[in-house]
Amino acid sequence: MERRKIVLLPRVQQILTELGENMKLARLRRKLSTMQVAERANLSRQTVISVEKGLSGVSIGAYLQVLLVLGLEKDLLKVASDDLLGRKLQDAKLMVKSRAPKRSKKKEE
């Protein structure tokens, strides 16, 4: 079976690249080598390098394993935790304009 290449928009690729760079900086702050992280994450050294480059062909599981080794796995839970746009869209649907019920003539008399 042939693997399909994932094509990302430049803006999305930039986000992934920045994520990889941040993970590399976190590793360097902890004074860990790529080999140490690879062993602890049960990944190959090349996969760790690919994660740090922000390559799109790497599984999200590999990204999470590296975050786990760095002690940053809970940062992934922050993604979309405060979905401002989603809440606005939901609120817009909730505000359905409808007419007030008509008064009955019996109550007015």
Domains, the chain, in order of start with CATH, read: 10-80 (1.10.260.40)
Residue corresponding to tokens 């900086």: 25
Task: Please give the Cα distance from 63 to 52 (Å, whole number).
Answer: 9
Q: What's the predicted TM-score (pTM) here?
A: 0.75
Task: Round to the nearest angstrom and report the end-to-end CA distance of the chain.
Answer: 80
| 64-108 pLDDT tens trace | 999 999 999 999 888 888 888 888 888 877 665 666 777 776 655
Which residues, in sequence order, are CB contacts of 35 under 8 Å at separation 6+?
45
72: how many CB neighbours lie within 10 A of its CB?
14
Record the tokens describing residue 26, joined without a space.
């976190």
Record the tokens describing residue 53, joined without a space.
């480059």
